[in-house]
Amino acid sequence: MKKKILITGCAGFIGFHLSKRLLNKFDVVGIDKLTNYYSKKLKLDRLNELLKFRNFKFLKINLSKKNSLSLLKKTRFFAVIHLAAQPGVRNSIFKPLDYIDDNIVSHVNLLQEFKNRNLKKFIYASSSSIYGSTKKKNYSEADPLTRPLSLYSATKQSIEQITRYYSHYYKIPSIGLRFFTCYGPWGRPDLSVTKITNDIIKKKKVILLNNGKTKRDYTYIDDTVNGIIKCLNFKNKKNQHEIFNLGTGRTYSTLQLTKTIGKILKIDYKIKFKKHHPTDMRITKSNMFKSKKKLGYAPKIDLKRGLKKYLDWHLNN
C-alpha cells in the first residue's frame, strides 16, 4: 500500500500541481473549500484533472470551521502539506476577516487535529511577503521579521510563529516554505503574469504600478513543486521547525516581464504607468543559500523559458 499524504488547497494553483506530481508515489487526500476569490470554474477544472486518478480522494471541507476534520480522525497520514489560504495582498485590505479565518484559524484547526498524530512532516505555505518592510536587497530565512506591509503578510508571519510553538511543544517536524511569486500553467488569474498576458492579448492597456519598477523573483511552478517534494526527504528532528525560501535568486521588474511576454506573443501593447501601492513590496529577491544547501533545491527554469511554457498553455486554453 502507498503512503498517504493530505494536501489542503488541492484545487488551488500550487496544490493542484503538487497533488498531480505526488499521485505517482502516494495516495493523496485533497481538501479544498473552493473559495470564490477567483473563478470557481478554474478550480473545478483542476479538480476534475485530479479526480482522473484512482488514488486521489477529494473532500470539500472548510478548514476554518471547528471539527471540520473529524472525518479524518482515523486516517493515518505520513505527511500533511497545508497550502489552503486566502492569497492575494490587495484583497486582504477589503476582506480582513476572511484572511484571519482562512489563514490563521484554519491553520490552528489543522495543527490541533494533527498535534498528536505522529506526523513525519508538517509542511505549510508561508510567503515572500513576510519580509515586509525590510531594506535588504536579498532575503534570508534568518533575517528578523520586519513590519508587514499587508494583512496578508501579517497572517503569514503569524502562522510561522504559531507553527514554531506547536512544533516545539508537540514535537511536530515542521517546515514553512516562503514561496516567491509562482507562475505557470493553470495559474491564478490575479497574478501579474496572467493579468499582463490577458491585457496584451485583449489589446487593453497594461497597468504597471510603481512605474513598472516593482521587482519580483518569479518562480516557475515546476521548480516550486520540486522544492516542496524535496522537503518530504528533509531529515528534521521531531521538534524542529525549519523555514526555507523557494525562489530563484533572480529578480525582474514588471516592465521587463511585460516586454518579455509581448516579445514571445509578438503582439504590440500599450502601458499605463500608475503610482506605487503601499501594500506592495517594491522588490522581492530570495537568498537561496539555505534551500540549496539543506534541501538540495535547484530551480532550473529561467523566466523566458517559463513564460514560453506558460504562454503555450494559455493560448491553448
Q: Which of 127, 226, 258, 286 binds ligand NAD (CB under 6 A)?
A: 127
Nearer to ligand NAD, 130 or 206 (CB): 130
Nearer to ligand NAD, 9 or 227 (CB): 9
* The residue type at 154: A
Catalytic residue among 99, 124, 152, 166: 152
Total number of residues binding ligand NAD (CB under 6 A)? 31
Nearer to ligand NAD, 210 or 245 (CB): 245
Nearer to ligand NAD, 33 or 215 (CB): 33
Q: How far is the CB of 179 from ligand NAD (least distance, A)?
A: 4
Q: How far is the CB of 238 from ligand NAD (least distance, A)?
A: 25
> Helix 40-50 vs helix 13-22: angle between axes, to the nearest 10 degrees?
0
Residue 9 engages ligand NAD in binding (rule: CB under 6 A): yes
> Which residue is nearest to ligand NAD, using beta carbons?
12
Q: Please give the Cα distance from 209 to 245 (Å, whole number).
A: 25
Q: How many CB atoms lie within 10 A of CB 36?
A: 7
Reference 179, options 142, 124, 232; nearest CA is 124
Q: Which of 13, 26, 139, 252 binds ligand NAD (CB under 6 A)?
A: 13
Residue 193 engages ligand NAD in binding (rule: CB under 6 A): no
Give Cα separations from 39 to 14, 15, 81, 141 (angstroms): 15, 16, 23, 33
C-beta separation of 159 from 107 below 8 A: yes
| Of residues 14-73, those binding ligand NAD (CB under 6 A) | 14-15, 31-35, 37, 43, 61-64
Residue 106 engages ligand NAD in binding (rule: CB under 6 A): yes
- Cell reading at 205: 492597456
Q: How far is the CB of 139 from ligand NAD (least distance, A)?
A: 13
| 230 phi/psi in degrees, rounded to 5 | -55, -35
* Alpha helices for 76-212 (secondary structure H): 91-94, 96-99, 106-114, 151-170, 192-201
Q: How far is the CB of 203 from ligand NAD (least distance, A)?
A: 27
Residue whose grid cell is 481538501: 31
Nearer to ligand NAD, 106 or 258 (CB): 106
Residue 83 engages ligand NAD in binding (rule: CB under 6 A): yes
Q: How far is the CB of 62 from ligand NAD (least distance, A)?
A: 5
DSSP track, 48-66: HHHTTSTTEEEEE--TTST
Reference 3, options 84, 70, 116, 81; nearest CA is 81
| Of residues 147-186, those binding ligand NAD (CB under 6 A) | 179, 181-182
Longest dimension (CA), the chain: 57
Q: Please give the Cα distance from 255 to 273 (Å, whole number).
A: 10
- Catalytic, 152? Answer yes
Q: Which of 102, 160, 217, 222 binds ligand NAD (CB under 6 A)?
A: 102
Q: How far is the CB of 116 from ligand NAD (least distance, A)?
A: 22
Q: Which parts of the chain are beta strand (E)?
A: 4-8, 27-32, 56-60, 79-82, 121-127, 174-179, 182-183, 206-208, 215-216, 219-220, 241-246, 252-253, 271-273
Residue 216 engages ligand NAD in binding (rule: CB under 6 A): no
Nearer to ligand NAD, 224 or 236 (CB): 224
| Residues at the interface with ligand NAD (CB under 6 A) | 8-9, 11-15, 31-35, 37, 43, 61-64, 83-87, 102, 106, 125, 127, 179, 181-182, 188
Mind telling me the catalytic residues? 152
